[in-house]
Structures are given as C-alpha cells and as structure tokens.
Structure 1
Amino acid sequence: MFKVVSVALLVGVAMAAPRPDSPPIYAPIAPSYPAPHAVSPYKEEPPKPYQFDYGVRDDYSGANYGHNEVSDGNAISGSYTVALPDGRIQKVTYVADHHNGFQADVTYEGEAVYPDHKPAQPAYPAPAPYVPAPAPYAPPAPYA
C-alpha cells in the first residue's frame, strides 16, 4: 500500500512540473506606479482673492496681538503684531508671491524691560559638609 501511494505521488509531481521547452507559466508583474507625465487629477482653478483681520487685547491677561492679510489671488500682503514678554511690541509687515517668495519687515516698538533678578530662598536646608569616614582599624602585625 505504501509503495503504491509513493509511486502515485511521484508520478503526480513529475506531471505537474513544467517542461523545459514550454513557455513560462507566470506573467510579468504590472507596474504599481503611475505612468510618467500622467495627467494631474487636480484641475487648475482661478485665483481666489480673500481678506481677513482680527485683534485681541485683554488687559487682565496681558494678551495683545492682531493679524490682517489681503490677497488678490496671486500675491499676499499683511501684517501682524505681538506684545512680547519684555514689554516691546513686535510688528511684522510682509509680502509674498510666487516670484519673490516671502519678504518680511520686522520692527519693534518700545524698550525692553527686564525685572530685577531676585534669587529665591531654597525650599530645603543646605546639605551637611562631606567628611570622609575614618580608616578601618587593623591590629598591628606581631613581632617575630
């Protein structure tokens, strides 16, 4: 019985193997990337002009900033202001387009004021000074 099953299995494997003169049984793999210079899936849209501005001034928190911007669809111009922590006001005026890139003019109003440095008292006591431990005792060697 074992011999019959072995011979049948061997004949099946031999018949399943491709012959050397037959064409290959596989197909070439299709490329998974788009063809070069493919048509863009996005359509070119006309420029869309816009304009916005906002401002915040909160005396309680000290927040003071604003931003405005205008675009004709091709170039953008605008400015924003920020109250800096040192008391100055930073004003940035900018222009941006596809030919010249982003160009900003930064100015500061006021004088920087820094508070006096007052070191805080440590919340813990100073560590004790280091004192090395005494050498361990060793009895003297006996006389011979």
Structure 2
Amino acid sequence: MFSKVFCLFLLVVVVAVEGYGHAFSSNHISRHDGHHEAVHGHDHGHHDYYTHPKYEFDYKVEDHHTGDIKSQHEHRDGDAVKGAYSLHQPDGSHRHVHYHADDHSGFHADVKYSTHHIVPHHH
C-alpha cells in the first residue's frame, strides 16, 4: 500500500513540475527484503509469514516558481523508524522536523521553525 501511495505522489509531483520548466524533483527508494520467517497460526494447517521490515527513501522538490520547496528522508529497520522533513511554508518560514519512533518509546518529533528576514533596499 505504501508503494502505491508513494508512486501516486511522485506522479502528481512530476505532472505539476513539468509545466513550469525550472523545477527540480528527485527521489530514491531502497527496500531490503529479508528472509521470510514462518509464524504458525492457531490452526495447524495455516502459516503466516513475517519479513523483517527494512527500507529507506528520500525525495526533494524545488519549484521556485510556485514556492513548492520540500524534502524528506526516512529509514526503517524493524520497529525503529527515523527521519526528517523540511518545507517552505506560505508565510516564508521554514519548518524542519526530525522524528523517530520505536516500540519502546513511541513517536517523538522535534519541530523547529526558521525565518529569513528580508531587508528592502531603497534607491
């Protein structure tokens, strides 16, 4: 399901970016398929399989015409997920988020905002 949603997102980004000429978009996905482990169910004739989840991805969009500037990277190894994303918000500030989650401590995010002050020059 994740891969279908991500592919749809990439298609929308590519279609949106192609109309403006000076935009940039990139992505990278790495899946690491481990060995399947059999997990026996309650009925003796049924077997479920579990694969250790491991992946990493990143993407970046820079469209200065529309102001759509954002990036994200994330990696997962088992139950531990770490990542970060940043984006330019409509008010001109930048949001930077670093997050991690695991089965012991839950989800935690560190959100920071930065602004760039523009000083007008008068002639």
**Range class of TM-score, shorter chain:** 0.5 to 0.7
Q: For each residue in 1:79-115, what CA deviation from the matched residue of structure 2 results, as whole angstroms up to 9, or x when unmatched?
A: 01111111100010000111111100001111589xx
Whether 1:106 and 2:111 are equivalent positions in the alignment is yes
1:95 equivalent in structure 2: 100
Q: Distance in 2 between matches of 1:57 and 1:97?
A: 31
Whether 1:72 and 2:67 are equivalent positions in the alignment is no
Could you tell me how far 1:54 is from its partner in structure 2? 0.1
Report the AA paired with residue 59 of structure 1.
Answer: H
Question: Any unmatched runs of 5+ in structure 2?
Answer: 1-40, 119-123
Q: Does the 8 A contact of 1:86 with 1:112 survive in 2? A: no
Report the AA paired with residue 69 of structure 2.
Answer: N
Point out the structure with the larger strand share.
2
1:39 equivalent in structure 2: 42
Report the AA paired with residue 39 of structure 1.
Answer: H
Higher RCO, 1 vs 2 (CA within 8 Å, ≥6 residues apart): 2
Q: For each residue in 1:52-77, what CA deviation from the matched residue of structure 2 results, as whole angstroms up to 9, or x when unmatched?
A: 00010101111001110011122000
Q: How many equivalent residue pairs?
A: 76
Q: Does the 8 A contact of 1:51 with 1:69 survive in 2? A: yes
TM-score (norm 2): 0.55
Could you tell me how far 1:46 is from its partner in structure 2? 3.1
1:26 equivalent in structure 2: none
Question: What's the secondary structure of 2:79's corresponding residue?
Answer: coil
**Higher Cα radius of gyration:** 1
Distance change >3 Å, CA 50–CA 78, structure 1 → 2: same
Aligned 1:7-22 pairs, distance under 5 A: none
1:52 equivalent in structure 2: 57
Distance change >3 Å, CA 42–CA 84, structure 1 → 2: farther
Q: Distance in 2 between matches of 1:52 and 1:80?
A: 12
Question: What's the secondary structure of 1:92's corresponding residue?
Answer: strand
1:84 equivalent in structure 2: 89
How many percent of aligned residue pairs carry the same amino acid?
36
Could you tell me how far 1:42 is from its partner in structure 2? 7.0
1:11 equivalent in structure 2: none
